[in-house]
Amino acid sequence: MQITVVHVKQASGFRERLLPRWWAFGISLALVSMVAIAYGAALDPWFGWITFGCGGLAVSWLLWIASPVIEVTDTSLLAGRARLPRSSIAGAIELDGPQAKAHRGPTADARTFVLLRPWRAATAVLVTLDDPSDPHPAWLLTSKHPDRLVRALQ
């Protein structure tokens, strides 16, 4: 008899990948197509099509991989590669476009940890911390669904 242990990561119901908008993929494919047309004209049309197919897949994959993930688990908040224990979170507030702009502008606290992707959403969440040993007093996270993120952190 064999016993298999499976570790399941418990999530509080929020996970968001900050992908670029559709136009970023379109611009990337347009740039790849220019290179593909140049290679196709200089060498062979089939080489151009192969360049377009492989280049388009590579650029799309790179845009996907480079997009950070925000996830709330039972024990922590994950934002890209950064991890914050939930025990050090004092509160979270939803910010609309103008409020988010004010928190990332010249009057903002420079010690704030930021994960901003302005092409993804104008809204954000400000997570205040209750850990005096942490060098960041707050985290500012871009989110397309800030209300769901705040709810998951409560």
Residue 53 is encoded by which pair of tokens?
A: 């197919």
Condensed to tens digits (0 to 9), the pLDDT of residues 102-129 reads: 888 888 888 999 998 877 778 899 999 9
Q: Phi and psi of 121, rounded to 5°? A: -160, 150
**How do residues 41-64 score in pLDDT, each as one tens digit?**
999 999 999 999 999 999 999 999
Among residues of the chain, what percentage have pLDDT more than 70? 92
**Greater pLDDT, 114 or 8:** 114
pLDDT surpasses 50 at 5: no
Question: Where are the domains positioned within the chain?
Answer: 15-65, 70-153
For residues 137 and 103, what is the distance between their CA atoms, to the nearest angstrom?
Answer: 13
What is the reported pLDDT for 12?
Answer: 56
